Structure 1
Amino acid sequence: MEYIGIDVHKRDSQVCILGESGEVVLEQRVRTQRERLGELLSKRSKARMLLEASTESEWVARCLEEMGHEVVVADPNFAPMYATRSRRVKTDKRDARTLAEACKLGAYRPAHRTSDEQRHMRAQLAVREALVRTRTRSISQVRALVRREGPRVADGEAESFVKRVEALALPGRLKAEMAPLLSLLLHLNEQIAFLDGMLERLARRDEQLARLCTVPHVGPVTACAFASAVDDPKRFSGPHQLEAYLGLVPSERSSGEKQHRGRITKTGNSRVRCLLIQAALSLLRGSKPETAHLREWAEKIAARRGKKIAVVALARRPAQPRPPSLARRGTGGVQQWCWEQQPLLWLSTTRFGEAPAPGPASQAVWAVPGAPEWSAPRWALSRTPTPGACLHTRHRRRRPKRTSGAAARPHVRPAKAGAFSGSQSRRGNRQEPRSLDSREERNR
């Protein structure tokens, strides 16, 4: 079998073909077009090809798969794939040869290839984001033009901005200057509303998106963005891996005994990360009683670590529906409720997307940070069912209460009988620390 590495670019691509023993069979530059790639690779026997994940990688991979080849789209952030490439000299020819050698050695990490449905959803979200950014820039420009003449545009929603500008008494020349921007804003509002309606109808039809919309302060746009980024939940082993994939975990540079953690990594899809942060800010500023426990938990983190860290922590742990009353259902009823609601809570389960058959629940752990009542920012089910298992609640570790005496202070060494004369130590007139009991007697 031949091993082929293709360094794909917008106009031209570099192809390197290695034989069975690793010798270079062909190195050629070809136009990134279906016809040119077919002329070069369609007549060759079945080979294994390696591409880097990029904008053009998906249609190139599908084109090569139609020719009968085995195609792997690799993660370009995987450093061992470029172990044989010189860092001082970088060319497309060397990159293609490095990819071919990595394909032969298996030194690559396959990237996830998004399904067609999620790719189209990402395209709709990208178009909507571009329209929203254009509207924001236009509104800022109109506000600046109005401020030059003295008046100010009242605050409000973006959809009603044109009406608020038209209500102002402005000079005719200024109105003529702003007319193109105001007409553009009207058209942008119509297009954004049309896309929002499409996403809302899609969220109502899709069962998974409808479940995501049950999370407080999560709407169709955030649900569609999250689902399009995750695509296949089973490729994540747990919630922490998903948080790292979205760039919501702190960066770390540790070595030996030194450990340093910095800001969040901000890797992955920036659109989803921004939407989750916005949802967390909206939840933190809200006043709904069903999310009071989450606000209290975030306020405690904000008092200890700062507001920004509390917002990120809240974005990592979206709220979940509250279980029914324990008095009505009992322990067995809550266990049964866990099994019934597991597909609803797939957002933060340990094994994403798994929907077990209804039955007796296994041992469940509900992690409720700082919440006195039953609530579920995050929960998990053990993989092996345990018959007759009970429901447990994890609480924050608390410091044990102090007791009187030297035992409560481990840093105080008890004095040895007869070791020193009186209360003086060997180092001078410094006195040994007294026990808590003796201090209380002295204070009396």
Structure 2
Amino acid sequence: MNIARIGVDLAKQVFQVHGVDRTEKVLVRRQLRRSQMLDYFSKLTPCLIGMEACGSAHYWARELSKLGHEVRLMAPQFVKPYVKSGKNDVNDAEAICEAVGRPNMRFVAIKTAEQQVIQAEHRIRARLIKSRTALSNEIRGLLAEFGIVVATSIGRLRKALPELLEDGENGLSGSFRVLLAGLGEELRALDDSIAAFDARIAQTAREDDRIRRLLEVEGIGPVTASALVTAVGNGTQFNSGRDMSAWLGLTPRQYSSGGKNRLGGISKRGDKYMRMLLIHGARAALNAAKNKEDGRSRWVKSLAARRNKNIATVALANKNARIAWSILSRGESYKKAA
């Protein structure tokens, strides 16, 4: 069979394959078990293979690339318009095969195993932080039932817990003190786990030249820099810094029609975690700019005065994303504004 293009609908155990030749004639429409995938594709002449960028997609992209195939991943929302009729595995595989052949299709860069390891670290760390926030809110809520209000700050809560346990005049019963002590130990355990992940990320930052160069940008720390490298690699899949900023959802959403351009708030598309890190870093950089007089600091302070701090923060996050693209894609170092 002279197959030119294949669409693969990924799943946990059963995969749907749809292949066509150069005249768009359907040559393959079949199911494959997970154990049959590599054996089947190893017997095919190298061709173009399309898949949605979903769970396990990067693994299969790496494995099929080793067999000599050209593998391209696409965001599911870009494949959806090509689905004919109802949704099922057969139609999905056909839509993927059709979409991957479009000349203007946007593709997702294939992550290396090392990138996915760092990405796993970030995801686990984010889950631990979410759990710590939930636990601290639970502790404050339980204390409020006994008339004790602790300020909304994890640092203040850490400081308050030992004092509350030692204070014999605050009206807390012995049984509740036991519960409170257990919650305090759980909070400390989460702190220790998060600190361990922070140390791992910091170690990765010291070993990777790309991350070290990103750290020179005000508003980008080790966590943000390593997350950026994990998410976009060298950034060469984007034609410009604005394209990467748009992918991160930091550019205005358009409502344009009939020659009238209407721009709203940021689109909030793409990687939510990465956008959050850039905005938090930009907020810290904006606060630090109060005591600086370089060109970048003057610009962001002027913007904050004319508009408001939130707009200035997002604008600075947008600028940092563009600078990060330039650093990663061109191998440059950051040049600080005079």
Matched, 1:69 2:66: no
Distance 1:201 1:221 in 2: 11
Distance 2:214 2:206 in 1: 11
CA separation of 1:222 and 1:102: change in aligned 2, threshold 3 A: closer
Would the aligned equivalents of 1:154 and 1:164 in 2 still touch at CA under 8 Å? no
Other-structure match for 2:89: 92
Partner of 1:71, secondary structure, is: strand
Other-structure match for 2:162: 166
Distance 2:20 2:51 in 1: 15
Other-structure match for 1:309: 311
Would the aligned equivalents of 1:6 and 1:15 in 2 still touch at CA under 8 Å? yes
Q: Give 1:126 deviation, angstroms.
A: 1.1
Other-structure match for 1:211: 213
Q: Give 1:60 deviation, angstroms.
A: 1.8
Would the aligned equivalents of 2:219 and 2:283 in 1 still touch at CA under 8 Å? no
Other-structure match for 1:14: 16
Residues 294-305 of structure 1 correspond to what in structure 2 (within 5 A)?
294=296, 296-305=298-307
Matched, 1:375 2:327: no
Q: Which has the higher contact order (CA 8 A, sep 6+)?
A: 2
Matched, 1:145 2:123: no
TM-score scaled by structure 1? 0.65
Other-structure match for 1:182: 184
**RMSD over aligned Cα, in angstroms?**
3.1
Code of the residue aligned with 2:59 in structure 1: it is W
Code of the residue aligned with 1:281 in structure 2: it is R
Distance 2:309 2:323 in 1: 28
CA separation of 1:94 and 1:63: change in aligned 2, threshold 3 A: same
Would the aligned equivalents of 1:73 and 1:110 in 2 still touch at CA under 8 Å? yes
Distance 1:266 1:239 in 2: 17
Would the aligned equivalents of 2:210 and 2:328 in 1 still touch at CA under 8 Å? no
Partner of 1:286, secondary structure, is: helix
Q: Give 1:102 deviation, angstroms.
A: 4.0
Would the aligned equivalents of 1:238 and 1:350 in 2 still touch at CA under 8 Å? no
Distance 1:14 1:55 in 2: 15
Among 236, 254, 257, the residue aligned to 2:256: 254
Q: Give 1:232 deviation, angstroms.
A: 0.9
TM-superposition CA deviations, 1:408-441 (whole Å, max 9, x none): xxxxxxxxxxxxxxxxxxxxxxxxxxxxxxxxxx
Code of the residue aligned with 2:110 in structure 1: it is R
Of Structure 1 and Structure 2, which has the larger fraction of its residues in helix?
2
Q: Give 1:6 deviation, angstroms.
A: 1.0
Other-structure match for 2:286: 284
Distance 2:250 2:98 in 1: 34
Would the aligned equivalents of 1:237 and 1:350 in 2 still touch at CA under 8 Å? no
Code of the residue aligned with 1:353 in structure 2: it is R
TM-superposition CA deviations, 1:46-88 (whole Å, max 9, x none): 443211111211112233334443332234343xx566533x5
Residues 278-357 of structure 1 correspond to what in structure 2 (within 5 A)?
278-286=280-288, 289-290=291-292, 294=296, 296-318=298-320, 347=324, 349=326, 352-355=329-332
Distance 2:102 2:262 in 1: 35
Would the aligned equivalents of 1:8 and 1:57 in 2 still touch at CA under 8 Å? yes
Among 112, 115, 123, the residue aligned to 1:115: 112
TM-superposition CA deviations, 1:14-45 (whole Å, max 9, x none): 212334543333322333x2x13235444344
Distance 2:134 2:234 in 1: 35
Partner of 1:266, secondary structure, is: coil
Aligned pairs, number:
329
- Percent identity for Structure 1 against Structure 2: 30
Code of the residue aligned with 1:71 in structure 2: it is V
> Which stretches in structure 2 are left out of the alignment for 5+ residues?
none
Distance 1:163 1:95 in 2: 55
Computing the radius of gyration from Cα coordinates, the structure with the larger value is 1
Would the aligned equivalents of 1:146 and 1:152 in 2 still touch at CA under 8 Å? yes
Code of the residue aligned with 1:60 in structure 2: it is W
Code of the residue aligned with 1:347 in structure 2: it is A
Distance 1:39 1:205 in 2: 37
Residues 6-85 of structure 1 correspond to what in structure 2 (within 5 A)?
6-31=8-33, 33=34, 35-78=35-78, 84-85=82-83
TM-score scaled by structure 2? 0.84
TM-superposition CA deviations, 1:70-109 (whole Å, max 9, x none): 332234343xx566533x5222211212223445665743
